[in-house]
Amino acid sequence: MKKIGIYIHIPFCIRKCSYCDFYSITWNNVSEDKFAEAVSNEIKGYKDRVKKDYTIDTIFFGGGTPTIIKPESLGKIIKTLNEIIEIDKNCEITMEANPNTLTEDKLRQYKDMGINRLSIGIQSLNDEILKKIGRVHCSTEALDAIDMAVNAGFENINADIMFNIPGQTIYDIEDTLYKIIHKGVKHISFYSLKLEEGTLMYVMEKLNKITMPDEDYEREMYYAGRNVMEKSNLHQYEISNFSHEGFECRHNLKYWNQEEYIGFGPSAHSFLNNVRYSNSSDLKLYCEENSSMSCQRTIQEKLGRDDLMFEYIMLRLRLKEGLNIKTFNDKFSADFCKLYSKQINDLLKNCLIETEGDNIRLTLRGMDISNYVIREFMK
């Protein structure tokens, strides 16, 4: 039996945050039942494609704000999944959660449904910053959300934290991290704010209404955050991800290991049988397309061996442990050191990568310019 990961995109938010370009629409009179029905139909459309070969070992409800919709709708989706592809007993089931959409009652229902990992979008515990980036919650609500989750019995809790926000200081970052670590989170995703075209913050920067921190300060914030986490036993396992031993996100590890997953819901991406494809980023269209068990896809890209090799290097180098040369050679029937001898020599000379046994990985310096290092392997 092969293992597969499942991503389900819940495209609703109370309000759009001013930096976010993930596909989501304002939660206002939307037909949740119609959406849940469409997702169930999409899942059923896979009946003959995957039923016999796979079991599900990770599920990730992302968004958007999955905690906005009725727990029963999520339960219905899990039930349909289990009818089509068997869900492993020890499946990791993660739910992204926004602080002020959580209640104790909802949390208990999530636990009963088998959800065993929460990923709470905290971003910062500085109220001015939260307002500036358009979050709908304050710092107290964010801390309360962690307490509620712990009280409801969730052990595996992640917090999303952002740095590189205009006006943010190193003190803010350290303060935020220490406070949430003290609350008992086991995992932290630590993201550098990126201005995405089409977002409010992008426009504001173009109009000189806000100024982004300079590159050096962005790195200082990253180092400061990394230090706090390392001191607190949250070890880094990926460029932006830190966890206590054994609490690494199994679902996201699938992405970095180039393993298979199916995404359901508008804008969700999939990787199956070496083909990458995605659903339309339009709720109305998505619901129409999945009003029966059809399977409409927007991007269909069959990856050849060269694409797969480059992609694998790109993904594995994001991980702290890097790429295992033997595994690469077995996977692609190739000779990594021969294929990339020039890159390896140049990058080693410049202290951007290092080796340990059969593994090749980014140095701390290499992590700072990971995009450059990865591009070298494209040549």
Binding site for ligand SAM (CB under 6 A): 19-20, 22, 62-65, 96, 98, 121, 123, 160, 162, 191, 193-194, 196
Q: Please name the amino acid found at residue 88.
A: D
Q: Which is nearer to ligand SAM, 123 or 156 (CB)?
A: 123
Q: Which is nearer to ligand SAM, 92 or 96 (CB)?
A: 96
Q: Angle, to 10 degrees, between the axis of helix 71-84 and the axis of helix 104-113?
A: 10
Residue 24 as a binder of ligand SF4 (CB under 6 A): the answer is yes
Residue 213 as a binder of ligand SF4 (CB under 6 A): the answer is no
Q: Which is nearer to ligand SAM, 141 or 358 (CB)?
A: 141
Sign of CA dihedral 231, 232, 233, 234: negative
Q: What is the closest distance, in whole angstroms, from the C-beta atom of residue 251 to ligand SAM in the complex?
A: 13
* Separation CA 310–CA 304 (nearest Å): 10
Q: What is the closest distance, in whole angstroms, from the C-beta atom of residue 171 to ligand SAM in the complex?
A: 20
DSSP string for 65-124: -GGGS-HHHHHHHHHHHHHHSEEEEEEEEEEEE-GGG--HHHHHHHHHHT--EEEEEEE-
Tokens at 53, concatenated: 């070969």
* Separation CA 364–CA 367 (nearest Å): 5
Q: What is the closest distance, in whole angstroms, from the C-beta atom of residue 175 to ligand SAM in the complex?
A: 17
Q: What is the closest distance, in whole angstroms, from the C-beta atom of residue 21 to ligand SAM in the complex?
A: 6
Name which position in 71, 99, 121, 265 contacts ligand SF4 (CB under 6 A).
121
Expressed in angstroms, the distance from the first to the final Cα of the chain is 37
Q: Of 69-98, which residues contact ligand SF4 (CB under 6 A)?
A: 98
Partner that binds at residue 267, options ligand SAM, ligand SF4, none, CB closer than 5 to 8 Å by kind: none
Partner that binds at residue 310, options ligand SAM, ligand SF4, none, CB closer than 5 to 8 Å by kind: none
Torsion angle in degrees (nearest 10) through CA of 162, 165, 168, 173: 10
Q: What is the closest distance, in whole angstroms, from the C-beta atom of residue 260 to ligand SAM in the complex?
A: 21
**Parallel, antiparallel, or unpaired: how do β-strands 269-272 and 275-278 relate?**
antiparallel
Q: Of 127-186, which residues contact ligand SF4 (CB under 6 A)?
A: none
Between the alpha carbon of residue 322 and those of residues 226, 230, 256, 314, the distances in Å are 18, 19, 10, 10
Contact residues: ligand SF4, CB under 6 A: 13, 16-17, 20, 22, 24, 63-65, 98, 121
